[in-house]
Each structure stands twice: as structure tokens, then as C-alpha cells.
Amino acid sequence: MNALVPPLLNGTAQGALLLLAALGLSLTFGQMGVINMAHGEFLMIGAFTAYLVQQVIDSSDLSIPVALPVAFVVAGLLGLLLEVSIIRWMYRRPLDTLLVTIGVSLILQQAALQTFPAQGVPVKQPGWLDGQLTILGYSWPLRQSFTIVLAAACVAILSAWLKYTSFGRRIRATVQNRDLAETAGISTRTVDRLTFFVGSGLAGVAGVAASLIGGTNSQMGAQYIIPAFLVVAAGGIGQLKGTVIAAWAVGVALSCFAYWTTGSLAQVLALILVIVFLQVRPQGLFTVRTRSLA
Amino acid sequence: MSTFSRRLRTLVATGTIVTVALALAGCGARAGDGTPGAESAAPSCVDTSGDTIKLGFLNSLTGGMAISEKTVSNVLHMAADEINAGGGILGKKIKYIQEDGATDWPTFAEKAEKLLTQDCVAAIFGGWTSSSRKAVKPVVEKHNGLFFYPVQYEGLESSPNIYYTGATTNQQIIPAMDFLASKGVKRLFLAGSDYVFPRTANAIIKLYAAKLGIQIVGEEYVPLDKDDWTTQVAKIVAAKPDFIFNTINGSSNVGFIKAYYDAGLTAATTPIISVSIAEEEAPAMGHEITGQYASWNYFESLKTDTNPKFIKSWKAYPNSSGVTSDPMEAAYISLYLYKALVEAAGSFDVDAVNAAAKKNTITFAAPEGTVTLDGENHHISKPGHIGRINANNQFDIVWSSDKFIAPDPFLKGYDWFPANVRDQLVKAAG
Amino acid sequence: MTKLKPRLSLIGIGVFAVLLLVVAPLVLTDHWLSNLGKYCCWAIAAVGIGLAWGRGGMLVMGQGVFFALGAYSMAMHLTLETAGAGVPGFMVLYDPLAPLPAFWEPFRSAAFTLLAIVLLPVIVAGLLGYALFKRRVKGAYFAILSQALAVALATLISSTIRETGGDTGLSDFKYFFGFVLEDPANRVMVYLIAAALLVVCLLVVWQLYRSRFGELLVATRDAEERVRFLGYDPATVKLVAFVLAALMASIGGAMFVPIVGIITPAEIGAAASILMIAGVAFGGRASLFGPALGAMAVGWGQSSLGSAWPEGWTYIVGLLFIVVILFLPKGLSSLLPRFTAARRSPGEQPAAGTAAPELEAVQS
């Protein structure tokens, strides 16, 4: 078995999960400048939604496909609630949104700890994900390919939505020049709300994927937030393709380091790698061309 | 900027002088002025005059460790209620003060000091992680207090102020290795979380494995807060072990079991033996955990005279999680052990309690069987059991030690443990 | 600005010093004095955060890194002092015959340790800050990067058990530069050193805030481009503030060790850094006393409210973030001028609507 195959394949899957977690952030951070530190907790809400859906629909073959849209809507609505109640007052103070949402994340974590069994809840994997694919002599868990397919589908739908629908055009217009978009008659308030809904909803979808990989408990969201932000930053603000490439690169780096060194060292090396990359190229992989001075 | 920097210099200089002057003004004993220790501790402020006695319970109720520690905290409350219903300790009702360690080890130290010096409790019960125990240890030693620690741990420690009611390594790790040897295991893989218990346990496992002729084919650690084990499991698959020794803790276990299952490993081909998965943790792992082994001193399925009552009281208890498990049972023991110690001593005084322990006659009819306290090392004797997880997330007991295993935290009775290491450790432990 | 305000602040520092150094040791029990010492350590780090974030606009979410540099330098020295000539006990198990790791050896010397507590953060923050500010990394990028660095360091320490004590950290110190730590008189002394250092830090920032540098720092925060056009290099201004903040965090960390008796990676990671930020935001990020008092208030809240109502305390910290940032961006200190009707100091945040956008695309 080639020593490159397992880390490359698993790294791609790990990158896909990171991408799912980062997609929503890329929208809300890149397009609105809001730094939502509670994004990880929306992911947790998505995972708990998957569990709750499984309590209603017994067959796990069916419940996970059902849970995906439900988690999207539940997390999206909570995101909308956050936007309407708190975030909208702070659009001119991006760093402060970061702090406010830290508060929100602390509250959501504690609420989840007290609502659900402290040890976490089981989310059953659908039967059609049992088994492995044999690739170049390596039995690759089928579940890993599911994460990749899911991430690819989300990216495809999101980019098509941004490109071809009128809402998507409005979002892009608002990103490129908020004032001009407003002058052209676009309600940036509506656009903001919708963006936040979609961004948070994507975290919910990521949560369903994460519930199949690790534990579903009150602490699960915290491990994704920092890597997801680094991915968004490394990819470049508001750049979908940048986010995709950065997530893949971080995932593969994590997995390769973990394969060749140790699990702990891999986390450290991957973080350092991104930090160094951002020193060299602080604007990320891709940038929106603007005439801004700074 | 020159005037500015001159002013700054004056300022800093003044500050330094003030600091040094203050430091010298307040100085007390220096090294070599005599032995520091219990003698210098202020006299105990524990109030034993009334008809109640204050005890402190200290566990993380918030933060990451609350996941595990909440149950221990609840079962301590239950034990206190039971003891009070039975007349209390030396006729005094327990009045417990619950503190939150908040998954932060300095907070454990602070709260332990508060319980001992502000609330004047007679003893403290709780803790879970080794870090929390190590944070509390200097505090109880300084104030000559008592701390009862209820979780299996890495051993190699003893303190006159701590009683350990969970297993030390020779009561959990070594029985597990004996079990593996009896199964004819030749190739073992070690998977653990990256902290002190797995690292120490694995260091001991490697020494014992060499003696047993078991080959260690790999060793992997992942940080406690990371769930994704897929890459590490790929390494396990490549190493082709007969058995996996799992010292992973917390939610990371769920990720490990899922990755293991998805890689096509099964209990039939490559079984796992765990030391941190009990009845409490198993449900969160779903059906993937069925058929795997765990090494503990207590299982809910254990058939003893005392176990049914314990299970019944816990299931009826308001904050119950519904199942009983080893760490809970050890916490339950800790309070009753304290009761037995105080009643043998006839006093709540720490030195009297320790003197009573020294007689080696303190026993308690625990749910796991009648345990005996070792007055020298402050650990208790325990039976070793290996259980196999069934579809109801209960354990079918497949192996038991032939008798209760006497606690041996420094592994003095095991010739494969290097004597020079032991000597150094004993010396370091004081 | 009138001459009155700085004088008032100086008197305030004086009163604060008397309260901390004279009144507190007389009225507080040993336990609360040691708690107050711990809050002082956080407050020292918080003063630095106030300087870097409140005045300089750099949201330093990774002060845990510098806190750790000071704390671990001190802890390694105290561990070696306790262990005597041998190797610390926790190292023995993993490799009984290996010598002390090379980087521990110099910490046997008290002078080297004190030097390291001061120089390590200056060097690390200097290099890091130089790289970041020259590349004009700022706003949210800076915040996330600094936090990622703290997480990386905490993970690294957790995974190097033999070298650093890992997740369990370093604890059980018996001596502090030759003084027996168990002796109550020595504990008062350690507290007094921490409290005095806090007063010194307050004096330093008081002096900085009324200097030309303080004005430049605020100007850089509010309009970096204009400062550049005026011929100053904003990177240098920010670097100085960042290094000073790092130094203060390191000093706070170093004093934390003898007072609390344990240091673990948990004090470095995201949660610890966030709690410090909460204190600074609560007290008033740009004011002189706000950060220190805010950090002490949060520490006190954790000790007292956290005891009375643990679950509730978590909700309170969460709500604190939301309510204070939403309604009182200048913290509690902004309530004071409303009563005294004092003049706006230049250090306060400009009105929200006119704030320069902090999140700007960085240009290559």
C-alpha cells in the first residue's frame, strides 16, 4: 500500500468537513464582515438536529438525508434570530461582533450541556455508508467519501445560487460595493439577513456531517471554529474557490502530518503552517480587487 | 521623545525600588529554616460542635469536563442523602458544600483552599482528571485537609492527605494485560488521548508487554479535544494488531470508535479493550461499540449482594443518568469510606482519621464487593473485571481476577518495573 | 486637554495602591488575599490588553502565549528549585535515565529566569509583531491569528509531557527564590510583589497615555492611513504597544505561578484568553483603570458567583459579553463621566458610526 494514499484520501475528507464548516463563515465573514464565533455552536445544533430527527425517523438510512435540510433550516433560523436580535446593531463594529458572538457561543454550549445528556448522544450512521472502497490497496471508509460528496454538493449549489439567482447577484453586488448596491435600490438589510440565514444553515449541514465523524455533545463545536476561520482567511475574503483550496490544503496537511508524525504534533504544525502562510500572503490566496487604500 | 523616556525611566526605577522594599519587608521563612509541612499549617477550623458536619464536593459542573464529572457530583449528593437518612456520621448530618472546578485546574486549587479555609469542611470529595488532582494535592497537604479522589488513575502517587477510591494501574491496566495474555494476544496497538493518564498507562503497558511476550506494534495519541481518528485508524489497519488497548478519554472516544468501525475493523477480528468507556459513555457511541471489551472494577451487571440496592437507589435518584458505572461507584465508596474512617477514629480530626486508616481494618461493603483500605498508601483493594459490551450497552463479564487485588500504586510487587524508576518516583513524591 | 485629568488619574493610582498594598493585607483572610493576588496577575495582563486593544485597536486574543512564557519560565525555575539537583519527578517515568532537557538547564539560575520572563516575550512579540504589522495584518485577521497561535502553543505543551508536564502542567512548588512558599508571611510577600507590579504597570500606561506616543497610538487605531501620511510608521507604533502588552502578560503569568501554585496549558488556550478579554471589555478597554478593574471583577465573579451558582455564572459571562459590547462598548468606565460630566479623553473610542472600518482588505 502506498504510504501517500491514506493521508491524501483522508486529508481530502478532513478538508471537506473543514470546508463545510468554513463555507458559512466565508459567506458571513467575507460578505458581511461579521465574525461569528458562535458558528461552531450552530454546527453543534445541526448535529443535535440529526439526533432529534433520528428519534422521529427510526431508519438511519432515511433519517440522515432528511436531517440535512432540517438541520439547514434549524441552524439557519437560529442564525437569523441572532442577526435580527444582535448582529444587526453592530455592522460598523466588526471586532465587536467577534466578542458578542463569543458570549452567544458560551451560552449555547452551556444550554446544550443542560438540555442533552452530558456525555452526548449517538447519531446512527446510515447503513449505506458502512463499508470501504478499495483504492490502490487501501480500504477507504465509505463515510469519508460521503463528506466529500456533501461538501462538493454544497459548494456547487452555493456557487450556482450566487451566480444565477437574483438574490445571489444582490449578495455579490453588496459585497463588492455596499453603498453603490444600496444606491441601486438593493435592500442590503434583506440581503444581510438572507446571507446570515444561509451561512448559519450551512453550519447546520456541517454539523450533520460532523455527527457521523465524532461525538455529538455540547463541546463539539469548539474544535472547528479556529481552523475554519484560518481556512477562510487563507482562502481570501469572500472567495469561494480560495476557501475550497485552502480547506483541502489544510485537511491534507493535517492528515499527512498526523500520518507521518503524531496526532498532536499534526494540529500544531497545521496551525503554524497557516499562520506562516498568512504572514507571507496576508490577503489570502485570492482577493477581490478594490481601490481601497488599506 | 527624550523627555518621555526619561520620565519613564524614573517611573520604572521608582516602581522597582518600591517592589523590592515591599518584598524585603514581608519576608518569612527561607529554605533551610526548618522543615515546612503539616506543622506550619494553621490549626483546623472544622466545627464539630453542632449536629451537622460540613463536607466539600468539588467537580467541574461547567466547561468540557462537565460531560463526565456531573454524574460523579450527583452520586455524591445521593450518598450524602443516604448517609443522612441513616443517621449521619458520628450522629452528625452531612451538610455538603458544592463547588465548581469549571474544567480549570487553578480553579480546582482555589476552590479546594476555599472549602478548607473559608467553609472549614472536614473533607473534600471529587475531582476527575489527574490535572485536577495534582492541583488540589498541594492545597490539602498545606492545610492538612483530606481529599477523596474517585477515578481510576495512573498511580505512582501517594499523599497522606489524599484517599484514592478508584483503581490504580495494578487494579485496571495490569488485569487487562493479564486478560490479553490469556487470550493469546501477540500484537498489541496502543491508542490514547494525549495527556498524562494514557502516556503513563502505556509506559507501564510497554514494560509489562515485554515481560508477557506481547509485541507493541504501534502507539498513537490525539489531543483530548479532537474527534477525528480516521488517519490514525488507517495506521492501525496497516499495523495489523490482534488487539487494541484504548486509553482514549471523553468525546474523542466516539470519533475513534466510528473511525474504527468505518475502516472495517470488528470485534471479531481486531477487538478493543478500553479503560475509559463505561455504562455511562457507551450509549453515545451507538451500536459500533457492541462486542468490545472494557477493564473496570465495577460493572452495573456485577452480581454482588450490595449492587442491586445501589442500582435501585441511583435509578430512583432525581438527577440520575439511569445507569451506574465504575467512577460513580468509586465516588459512592469514597463518602462511605470516609464515614467508616471517622467512625473508627471516633473523630473528624485529620490526624486521627489517618491513624485509624493505619490499622488497615477499614472496610466497606461496596457495590463491587467488600473493599479494604490500605492505610499506608491510602488506596483500596478492588476486584479486576473484564466486561464485554452487549447491545443494551451493558457489560457481560467475561473475566475476573481470582481475588481482590491489593493496591500497589508504585508497582512494588512487580519485578519488571525498573527499581531505579520507582525509587526516583517515590523520592519525587516525597 | 486640561492638566487636571492626569493628576486625578495619578491620585487614583495612589488610592488604588494604598488599597492593594496596605488595606487589603490587613483586612483580607489568607484565602482571599491569595485570590486577590491571582486577580492582580490577570489585571497585569489586562492592562496590557487595554493598551494594545483599547488604545491600539489590536484585538490580542492570544495573550495566553505571553502569559505562558512568563508562567512557564517561572514554573520551570520553581520546579527545579523544589527538585534540587535531580530531575523533576514527572520526567522520570517516560525516560528514567535521560538527563534534564537542555532548555530546562538555564532555568536553574534565578537571574536567567528573571531575565527570561522579561526578554522572552519581548523577543517573541517583537518578531511576531514585526512580521504581522509590516505586512499590515490587522482587525479580525490579527485577532484570529493570535488566538490560533495560543491554541497551537497549548496543544504543543499538552503533547510534550516529558518536557513540559503536558496537560497536567507544573505544580507543587515548595520554594520561591529561596523562600518557603507555605509560610504565610512569604505568601503575603508574593502577593505584595504582584500587587506592586500591577501598580507599576498602571503607572507605566498612565505615563504612556499622556505622552506623544499615546496620542500616536490612538491616532493609529482611529486612522492608520492618516498617521502614515503624516510621516509616522504605524507599524512601529503598534509594535511598541504590542511588545509592552506581551511583557505585561508575561509578568502576570510569572507571578501567577507562585500565587496559584499550578500552571497548565488550560491557562494559555482560547478560553483563558477570552476571559481576560471579557474583563477588559467589561471595565472599559480604553480607560486607564477599566481593564485592570474589569479583569479583577471577572476574577472575583468567578470565585464568588461561580461558587454560588456555577451554571448561572457561565450564562452571566456570556450575557456580559453581549450586553456590555452591545450597549456599553466603552465598558463600565464610560458610565463614570456621565456622572462627573468630565471632558472626553482622547483615548475613548470615537462614536460607533464614525469608527474607521477595522476590517479592511489587506493589500499585498
Quote the pLDDT of residue C86: 77
Q: Is B262 in contact with A6 (Cβ distance < 8 A)?
A: no
Quote the pLDDT of residue B27: 57
Whether residue B198 contacts residue B229, with contact meaning beta carbons closer than 8 Å, is answered with no
| pTM attached to this predicted model | 0.90
Count of structural domains, chain B: 2
Q: Is B138 in contact with C171 (Cβ distance < 8 A)?
A: yes
List, for chain A, all residue ranges whose pLDDT scores fall below the cut of 70.
1, 288-294
- C139 and chain A in contact, CB less than 8 A: yes
The arithmetic mean of pLDDT across residues B267-283, rounded, is 93
Mark which residues 249-288 of A lie under 8 Å from B by CB.
Answer: 254-255, 258-259, 262-264, 267
> Which is more confident, B214 or A92?
B214
One DSSP character per residue, C35-53 reads: HHHHHHHHHHHHHHHIIII
Mark which residues 181-220 of B lie under 8 Å from A by CB.
Answer: 194, 220
Whether B364 and B273 map to the same domain: the answer is no
Beta-carbon contacts of residue B87 (< 8 Å; ≥ 6 apart): none
Distance CA C197, CA A235 (A): 43
- C327 and chain A in contact, CB less than 8 A: no
Whether B83 and B146 map to the same domain: the answer is yes
Whether B313 and B372 map to the same domain: the answer is yes
Would you kindly state where each structural domain of chain A is located, as residue ranges? 5-280
Residue B150 lies in a domain: yes
Quote the pLDDT of residue C342: 43
What end-to-end distance do the CA atoms of chain B give, in Å? 55
Share of chain C above pLDDT 70, in %: 91
Whether B363 and B220 map to the same domain: the answer is no
Fold of A5-280: ABC transporter involved in vitamin B12 uptake, BtuC (1.10.3470)
A99-103, B163-167, B398-402, C1-5 — which is least confidently predicted?
Answer: C1-5
Whether B322 and B424 map to the same domain: the answer is no
Quote the pLDDT of residue C360: 38
- A254 and chain C in contact, CB less than 8 A: no
Whether B278 and B415 map to the same domain: the answer is yes
Q: Is C141 in contact with A92 (Cβ distance < 8 A)?
A: no
From A92, A265, A271, residue closest to C353, measured CB to CB: A92
**pLDDT tops 50 at residue B156:** yes
Whether B74 and B150 map to the same domain: the answer is yes
Whether B182 and B286 map to the same domain: the answer is yes
Place of cell 488485569: B175
- For residue A139, give the H/E element and its range: strand A138-141
Whether residue A60 contacts residue A127, with contact meaning beta carbons closer than 8 Å, is answered with yes
Q: Mind listing the pLDDT tens digit for each residue in B62-103?
A: 888 888 898 899 999 999 999 999 999 999 999 999 999 988
Instruction: Give the residue on B whose Cα is nearest the Cα of C257.
Output: B106
From A141, A212, A217, residue closest to B67, measured CB to CB: A217
Distance CA B281, CA C89 (A): 33
Quote the pLDDT of residue B422: 86
Whether B252 and B339 map to the same domain: the answer is no
Q: Mind listing the pLDDT tens digit for each residue in A107-122?
A: 999 999 889 988 889 9
Of B349, B366, B381, the position where a domain reaches its end is: B381
Q: How many CB pairs (< 8 A) connect A and C?
A: 144
Q: What is the CATH number of the domain that holds B204?
A: 3.40.50.2300
Instruction: ipTM value, please give it.
Output: 0.90
pLDDT band for position B16 (cuts 50, 70, 90):
low
Whether B399 and B266 map to the same domain: the answer is yes
Beta strand B162-164 with B147-149 is parallel
pLDDT mean across residues, chain C:
87
The arithmetic mean of pLDDT across residues B389-412, rounded, is 95
pLDDT band for position C339 (cuts 50, 70, 90):
low
pLDDT band for position B236 (cuts 50, 70, 90):
very high
Print the domain residue range for B321: 52-166+307-381
Whether B272 and B364 map to the same domain: the answer is no
Residue B3 lies in a domain: no
Of B344, B362, B381, the position where a domain reaches its end is: B381
- A115 and chain B in contact, CB less than 8 A: no
**pLDDT tops 60 at residue B38:** no
Q: Is B429 in contact with C175 (Cβ distance < 8 A)?
A: no
Of B381, B399, B420, the position where a domain reaches its end is: B381
Distance CA C153, CA B164 (A): 32
Q: Mind listing the pLDDT tens digit for each residue in C192-240?
A: 999 999 999 999 999 999 999 999 999 999 999 899 999 999 999 999 9
The arithmetic mean of pLDDT across residues C335-345, rounded, is 55
Q: Mind listing the pLDDT tens digit for each residue in C43-56?
A: 999 999 999 999 99
**pLDDT tops 60 at residue C344:** no
Distance CA A198, CA A83 (A): 12
The arithmetic mean of pLDDT across residues B158-178, rounded, is 96
Measure in Å the smallest separation between the Cα of B226 and chain A Cα atoms: 7
- B71 and chain A in contact, CB less than 8 A: yes
Quote the pLDDT of residue C329: 85
Quote the pLDDT of residue B7: 57
Whether B277 and B409 map to the same domain: the answer is yes
Partners of B385 in beta bridges: B296, B400
Measured between beta carbons, the chain B residues lying within 8 angstroms of A258 are 231-232
Residue B414 lies in a domain: yes
From B28, B156, B424, residue closest to C183, measured CB to CB: B28
Whether residue C31 contacts residue B112, with contact meaning beta carbons closer than 8 Å, is answered with no
Residue B10 lies in a domain: no
Q: Is A215 in contact with B284 (Cβ distance < 8 A)?
A: yes
Length of chain B: 430
